[in-house]
Structure 1
Amino acid sequence: MSVTRRSLLAAGGIAFSGALGALFTSRAGAVRPTRGYGPLLPDPRGLLDLPAGFSYRVLSRAGGPLRSGEGPVPANCDGMAAFGAGGGRVRLVRNHENRATAALRVPPVAGLTYDPGALGGCTALELGPDGRVTGERVALAGTAVNCAGGRTPWNTWLSCEETEERAGTSGYARDHGYVFEVDPADPRRSGAVPLTALGRFAHEAVAVDPYLGVVYETEDAFDPPFGLFYRFLPARPLGGAGSLRAGGTLEAMRVPGLADLAVVDRPGAEFPVEWVRVPDPSAAGTAIRYQDFGRGGITHAQKLEGCYWGGAGVHFVSSYARRGEGAGADHHGQVWFYDPLRARLRLDVLFGPAADIRLPGDSPDNICLAPDGGLMVCEDGGGAQYVFGVTVGGEVYPVARNADDIGPPGAPEWGEFAGVTFSPDGRTMYVNAYAPGTTFAVTGPWQ
């Protein structure tokens, strides 16, 4: 990425809609926190800078041995979710966004491998009541570019392949571009089965409506026409583990008269939504975003990233948009909210385009809801990399800074953050440094 946050020192910042109640869902009567936890302190170990009173534990690091003995910990740690396992124990499921050139692949394991020629997948960590790692194993292998995903109401993980490559390319023996379900308690129960009805495209993330069972999906396409926002209507809604294999209907979002979400620059702006059936979810001949959606076309957006359910609707992120790359306007991050009951789409948060150095103005990516009802935002841009918090009042504060310099001498470089998530009790934040692949557990006086 050529634009860094430190080149964006003009006036501006983050703009919020007046309807943040739908985005930030703190408990009724809770005291809204003040801005953050104070300045970040340099880490003597040179790994993770945190505010005073906070500490971290390195749970896993790429290249170290998996406790299962299946091989080394894979690289490129990305999307992640935490699941309660009873008795204070926690299970983490972690994606590895490995392409065909990855140096540390997800080890192929019998019964868990989709395509032996693909190097991505997921690993699962078991944490004891004291927060220490008691187990680490392969949960899915033989998939490609596993970026983000999302959890289901029945406590499984949906891992997304951010690629559309076919068999015969990059050493692959099978087509890719699918979602895979992973059971964190016993990955062999889920196996390595692509959920083909959810479409074949460059998946980024998913969120499941816990009331109706609708699955929402984001597409991170790198070339125009850019990605779409989808919903999948399962044949067996809320049917539990394995139910998404039963098929269903895939639809794409159309906002009448709005071909590109990037042109919207007024937080609070609302639009009616229509859903159009995808002609060919398998993309057998033509990628979905190129397909003919009939009169009225379809609505695209550059860099559709994080997607999650909160409150009474689904939130999704456009990390940035650039006219020079084919977008209809420039911005440095949007957070959208879709209300399924009203079939309305609203822009809730606009990052930039000109942002203060203290604000997360450089490509928000993975986002999760924090215990206080605000947001945690993983930054994925140039220069220093942060996890930022955004309070329910719209104040922005730093939570963590990657201090692990992986650049050559004289050219510092830090890996992006990804996969931010919280333990079920809200006392621990888990987050990945993409490179070098490191999983942290952060504890402290969370609001």
Structure 2
Amino acid sequence: MSRSTPLRASAVVVVGSPWLGAARAGAGPYGPLLPPNGDGLALPEGFTSRTVARSGRKVAGLKWHAAPAGGACFPDGDGWIYVSNAKVPLLGGASALCFGSNGTVIEAYRVLSGTTLNAAGGATPWNTWLSCEETESGRVFECDPYGERAARPRLAMGRFRHEAAACDPERQVVYLTEDEPDGCFYRFRPRDWGDLTEGTLEVLAMGGVWRPVPHPAAPVEPTRFQVPDALRFDGAEGCHYADGVCSFTTRGDGRVWSYTASTGRLEAAGGPEAGERFVVRGGGPMEISVITRSGEAAPFARLEGHGLSTPAGPAFSPDGTRLYLSSQRGRTGARAGTDGHTFEVTGPFRG
């Protein structure tokens, strides 16, 4: 497996706190949950978990960061790399776990330092990690998961309360969400696909029209107010692009939104638009639900004893056999995230 091997896309993970009301309750493809294991994870029969990193403790010589948040996996020879953000003020950034072919953690290192409240982000088709600052005038940093190149801010992608990013290789754009009660939905059109240094930031406006943002890098002029007829979304969170549809969630009203790129149609929905999806639920039971292609929803994993925490950072290994996720505040619920847990779940995932 080379670094250019494309990431697995058949088992999609959408991050957020979505409304699942439009999906029919069902047993799910994996069956009922068993009692929680030693990690506090209740999983279906045939699935196991292990803790691969804990905040404040060393893993492969690196002290794992507090408040593990958004994450993604990348191919690396016969192994793979999991990158995780740190949602910490002033001491944020991102770290990487490098796994060997047998799943052993063989190396760990920082890929971004000196940033703040790195919440979510997204992987690019050219195997970089976009780490987003969830703060006013926040920036997007493009990081090298392999630790060979320094992270770089991509100011042309705008300065606002960034949450997540999703790449659309067909139209060569990057969709971006904004975590504000009156936030917007953006897309960035780089001048050259594969180089995010320069390009045009656009915001979705009334009538489904994309309008350019006049001053995307302005530190004091809020990006979301620069286009008067921009559409508003109540706390947009995670987003994912697959099969021509960019799906994103809004925390304030608990909706899942679907933007069909070919037609420009935007609609609020709860059912699947692009195959089977694993959806993180927060604000209630700490669960990951699976929504099947037929529209049924069922719990796949539940975190017990982590009631004051938030599930975050779900990502599949490139071969789809391992799922990584974090409990941002762990069992203690410490607001600083000093008890964060990062897990690996293995088992008979469907292809």
Q: TM class, shorter-chain normalised?
A: 0.7 to 0.9
Pairwise mapping of residues 5-404 of structure 1 onto structure 2 (< 5 A)?
Answer: 14-15=21-22, 35-69=28-62, 72-87=63-78, 89-99=79-89, 118-164=90-136, 177-186=138-147, 188-189=148-149, 191-222=150-181, 226-237=182-193, 239=194, 243-245=195-197, 247-256=198-207, 273-291=208-226, 293-294=227-228, 297-321=229-253, 333-349=254-270, 373-382=275-284, 384-404=285-305
SS of the residue 1:300 aligns to:
coil
SS of the residue 1:248 aligns to:
strand
Q: Distance in 1 between matches of 2:269 and 2:188?
A: 23
Q: Give the 4+ runs in structure 1 shifted more than 3 A.
A: none
**Deviation of 1:129 (Å):** 1.3
- Post-superposition Cα deviations, 1:142-190, rounded to whole Å, max 9, x if no partner, equal 11110110110101110000001xxxxxxxxxxx50000111122x41x
Q: Distance in 2 between matches of 1:13 and 1:317?
A: 11
Q: Distance in 1 between matches of 2:59 and 2:347?
A: 28
Unaligned runs of 5+ in 1: 6-11, 18-32, 100-117, 165-175, 257-272, 322-332, 351-366, 406-412
SS of the residue 1:197 aligns to:
helix
1:126 alignment partner AA: C
Q: Which residue of structure 2 lines up, in the alignment, with residue 430 of structure 1? A: 324
- Name whichever structure is richer in strand by fraction: 2
**Deviation of 1:194 (Å):** 1.1
Q: Distance in 2 between matches of 1:390 and 1:287?
A: 36
Q: Distance in 1 between matches of 2:128 and 2:77?
A: 15
1:79 alignment partner AA: G
Q: Distance in 2 between matches of 1:221 and 1:49?
A: 33
**Deviation of 1:46 (Å):** 4.8
SS of the residue 1:51 aligns to:
coil
Contact 1:66 1:137 survives alignment (8 Å)? no
- Post-superposition Cα deviations, 1:12-48, rounded to whole Å, max 9, x if no partner, equal 961169xxxxxxxxxxxxxxx9624222222342521
Contact 1:378 1:416 survives alignment (8 Å)? no
SS of the residue 2:64 aligns to:
coil
Q: Structure 1 54/66 Cα, relative in aligned 2: closer, same or farther at 3 Å?
A: closer
- Post-superposition Cα deviations, 1:180-228, rounded to whole Å, max 9, x if no partner, equal 0111122x41x13210000000000011111232111000014xxx110
**Deviation of 1:344 (Å):** 2.0
SS of the residue 1:91 aligns to:
strand
2:342 alignment partner AA: T
The size of the alignment, in residue pairs, is 323
**Deviation of 1:396 (Å):** 1.1
1:141 alignment partner AA: S
2:288 alignment partner AA: V
SS of the residue 2:293 aligns to:
coil
SS of the residue 2:345 aligns to:
strand
1:134 alignment partner AA: I
Q: Distance in 2 between matches of 1:126 and 1:41?
A: 30
Q: Distance in 2 between matches of 1:430 and 1:419?
A: 7
Unaligned runs of 5+ in 2: 1-16, 331-339
Q: Distance in 2 between matches of 1:445 and 1:284?
A: 48
- Sequence identity (%): 40
Question: Is residue 343 of structure 2 the alignment partner of residue 440 of structure 1?
Answer: yes
Contact 1:98 1:145 survives alignment (8 Å)? yes
Q: Distance in 2 between matches of 1:281 and 1:44?
A: 47
Contact 1:59 1:132 survives alignment (8 Å)? no
Q: Distance in 1 between matches of 2:53 and 2:40?
A: 13
SS of the residue 1:289 aligns to:
helix
2:232 alignment partner AA: H
Q: Distance in 2 between matches of 1:391 and 1:431?
A: 20
